[in-house]
Structure 1
Amino acid sequence: MTDPDAEFRWLDDVWAGEIYCASFVRDLTPREALTRFGTDASTIEEVTYGKVCERAVAGREASPRALPGYIGAVEVGGWTLIVEPLGWGAAGPDARARISRGTEIVVITRHDYSRQEFIHEIDGETITYFDLIAPELRWGSDPNRWVDAMREVGLDPDHDDSTGPHPEFAFANVFALASKVTGVRFSADMLARSFLGAETNEK
């Protein structure tokens, strides 16, 4: 078994907060990914990761619906990482289908008041979906595709409620799974790169 906690300890500095979404899209540039997401193309600009977070916080404070209205994207090893501080837009079925058209997307969502999700979708088809608090309850066209990888990173795909409570999970485990699905080794260095940021059409 790999040691996700050691490999992804840096996430503690960026995954803080109650709501966050990270998505990995294959073979799309950051600009293409932002466009498919549904951002306002006229607002696309080069920014730092820190500025993406600042704009998302400011957008949520100004939004009547408490939506951040700002996201960022950066290229990582043939994939584009989309970050949504305080958001969860890419987890929606319409957005996933739109972004994954002709390619694939892996979505990790943290939402302390709703679902914590792992989603793998190819060309608009959900391959594997599960809530992180119950990884044994999976659905999709191939819900067992990643069970071996889940075991390797410390997620239990075979939990039986009769044997006891669900084990605690860490987002490090989930990012380790995403790394196995995408073949990309994620590191804190990616957040030091220049991002493209844009305002979303939901505010």
Structure 2
Amino acid sequence: MTVSSDGVQWLAESYPQGFSVVFVRDLQSAELLARLGCEAAGSPMTREDAEEHELDDEAGEVLRAGECDGWAFAIQSWAAHVLGEGVIGSVSAGTEMVALVSTATIPWFSYAANGEEVCSFDPGMPWIRHGSDPDRLLSAMRSAGLISDDGSAGTACGVTGMLVLAEQEFQVGLSREVDDKPLLVGVVP
């Protein structure tokens, strides 16, 4: 399903108990779910349906997927399957990927291209960066308020700054309606 964008800053308020969303350029949603290691789950689900399904201890992790403005996306309530071992490399192979995570225990930003993590960081400690080119997004991080000119913490709250960075640098976004619309679903057992 293709949706129009309202940006991503609304996610922090709409998912106060946590979310993760991964955007992959020029990929279809079914291919994204496959790269994430998901099994098909049957009928499309709304956010409420997916969260109810996931509450069953045996159901596995539920990811809902769609497409918006040239990016496929997969969104998950509460958890961060995208940060599992080898997932970022698989998802970003032959393309580029942006992952935004804000769970109860993990805030994380990751940008990867061609199977390689380029720049990733905890938005609460953006001066500590990882990847093959950890300073690649430094200018954009300053613009988003994540980091100051002297390299210390910026004026933006960590997760809010991360979401601003994603919007400004990569032009990713989702419609607020994505929660109520049935989207393609994959399950990680």
For the aligned pair, the TM-score class normalised by the smaller chain equals 0.7 to 0.9
Whose helix fraction is larger, Structure 1's or Structure 2's?
Answer: 1
Aligned-partner Cα distance in 2 for 1:167–1:132: 12
Q: CA deviation at 1:199?
A: 1.8
Using the size of structure 2 for normalisation, the TM-score is 0.83
Q: CA deviation at 1:89?
A: 0.9
The aligned counterpart of 1:73 is 65
Greater mean alpha carbon deviation, residues 127-136 or residues 67-76 = 67-76
Pair 1:150 & 2:141 matched = yes
1:108 maps to which of 100, 106, 110: 100
Using the size of structure 1 for normalisation, the TM-score is 0.77
Q: CA deviation at 1:159?
A: 3.8
Pair 1:16 & 2:16 matched = yes
The aligned counterpart of 1:130 is 121
Q: CA, structure 1 residues 141+8, in 2 after alignment: closer, same or farther (shift >3 Å)?
A: closer
Instruction: Give, as a single letter, the amino acid of the residue that structure 1 aligns with 2:11.
Output: L
The superposition leaves residues 111-153 of structure 1 with CA deviations (integer Å, 9 ceiling, x where unpaired) of 333x311100111111101111100111211111111111222
Q: CA deviation at 1:185?
A: 4.5
Can you give the 5+ residue segments of structure 2 that lack an aligned partner in the other structure? 1-6
* Secondary structure of 1:45 counterpart: coil
The aligned counterpart of 1:172 is 160
The superposition leaves residues 92-122 of structure 1 with CA deviations (integer Å, 9 ceiling, x where unpaired) of 2411111111111111112333x31110011
Greater mean alpha carbon deviation, residues 179-188 or residues 23-32 = 179-188
Aligned-partner Cα distance in 2 for 1:85–1:107: 14
1:24–1:107 Cα contact (<8 Å) kept: yes
Identity %: 26
* Secondary structure of 1:133 counterpart: coil
Instruction: Give, as a single letter, the amino acid of the residue that structure 2 aligns with 1:10.
Output: W
1:45 maps to which of 43, 46, 64: 43
Aligned CA-pair RMSD = 2.5
- Max Rg structure: 1
Aligned-partner Cα distance in 2 for 1:15–1:68: 19
Q: CA, structure 1 residues 181+50, in 2 after alignment: closer, same or farther (shift >3 Å)?
A: farther
Q: CA deviation at 1:172?
A: 2.8
